[in-house]
Amino acid sequence: MSVFEVPGRGSALREASGRLRGVDLPRDTVEALTRWFDGVDPVPPPGLDPERGAFAAAGYLDETPPPRTATVTVAGRGALADAVAAALAGPGMQVRRRDLDSLAAALAGEAGTGAATGTGTGTPTDTATGTGTDAVCAVADGPAPVAWTELDILPARGTAWFRLAVEGRHGILEPPAVHPGDAGHADVRARRLAAAGSGHPHLLAYWDAAPAAPTGPGDHALLAALLAADVHAWIAGHDTPATGDLVPAALPARRRLRVVDLDTAAIADHALLPVPDSAS
């Protein structure tokens, strides 16, 4: 939200949703509030408790706590994985890199030995994901490998599970699996094969062939930014996306498969739910 002066018409504010509203406040009050809202003045302006109270009562002041510090492991090689790691880096974020094959092998081994242990806070401390890892982001600059299904156990171990792949000139952001029972990679494969109908053998063959994607730095930046936005929203606890005057209603990330056309930057979100056990 921002408060500003409208020449000849007094003050106005822009809501987080994008809606504009007139505000009946003196210019000096607007300037004082603006400095505080923008973080220029860290202390609330003195003598304006009624005005601040009115903004708070209207829901214009964000009093939610800052996002927690999180550790995210990027699993994958290449320029796209590098871009994802760079997009995730920032205050309150520790980014680690891990080879997908070794990560899957370690998880498989621990599943057989029961070696994984928990911290009591929902964050696993096992040798596969690394001590204190909150999320794993698997990245493939080509079709998603079937080995990703082996990491669908991550949410049950307290680790969020994000996935990004590229098929030709289309980026595929799979729904994040945050809680046990969320849609994992196996669910995505099953849903997409079912939707392909009689063409499912062709889709399976394409995935198995894993042709390299013809992508460049701009494509990587776009896809990395979208994946990082999902991760940051999850860390902040924003499971349901915000809507407003400038943005249409959107599906929660955990319930949609996002397809990005890299030639036009068009984004299509497809509803996707876990496949029930009875259908397996």
Closest CA to 254 of 267, 238, 266, 276: 238
Can you tell me which residue has the tokens 């009689």?
198
In a domain, 64, yes or no: no
Do 186 and 159 form a contact (C-beta atoms < 8 A)? no
Please check whether residues 126 and 251 belong to one and the same domain.
yes
Q: Are 227 and 87 in contact (CB under 8 A)?
A: yes
Q: Are residues 148 and 220 in the same domain?
A: yes
CA-nearest of 137, 144, 136 to 213 is: 144
User: Does 112 score more than 60 pLDDT?
Assistant: no
User: Residue 271: what are its φ and ψ, rounded to 5°?
Assistant: -60, 135
Structural domain contains residue 63: no
Question: Is the per-residue pLDDT at 132 higher than 90?
Answer: no
Among 170, 165, 124, 162, which Cα is nearest to 146's?
A: 165
| Contact status, residue 129 vs residue 117, Cβ threshold 8 Å | no
232: left (phi over 0), alpha (psi -120 to 50) or beta: alpha
Give me the pLDDT at residue 236, please.
Answer: 85
Domain boundaries, position 50: 2-57
- Mean pLDDT, all residues of the chain: 85
pLDDT, position 2: 76
Does 46 lie in the same domain as 135? Answer: no
Same domain for 76 and 46, yes or no, is no
Name the more confident of 1 and 233.
233
Q: What is the pLDDT of residue 241?
A: 67
115 with 226, same domain? Answer: yes
φ, ψ of residue 140 to 5 degrees: the values are -130, 125
Reported confidence tier of residue 127, pLDDT bands at 50, 70, 90? very low
Indicate if the pLDDT at residue 277 is higher than 80: no
* Residues 113 and 27 occupy one common structural domain: no
C-alpha 100/C-alpha 78 separation (Å) is 12
Contact 274, 187 (CB under 8 A): yes
pLDDT band per the 50, 70, 90 thresholds, residue 67: low
User: How does pLDDT run across 216-261, given as a tens digit for each residue?
Assistant: 999 999 999 999 999 999 998 877 666 677 777 788 899 999 999 9
Give domain status of residue 82, yes or no. Answer: yes
Mark whether 10 and 32 lie in a shared domain: yes
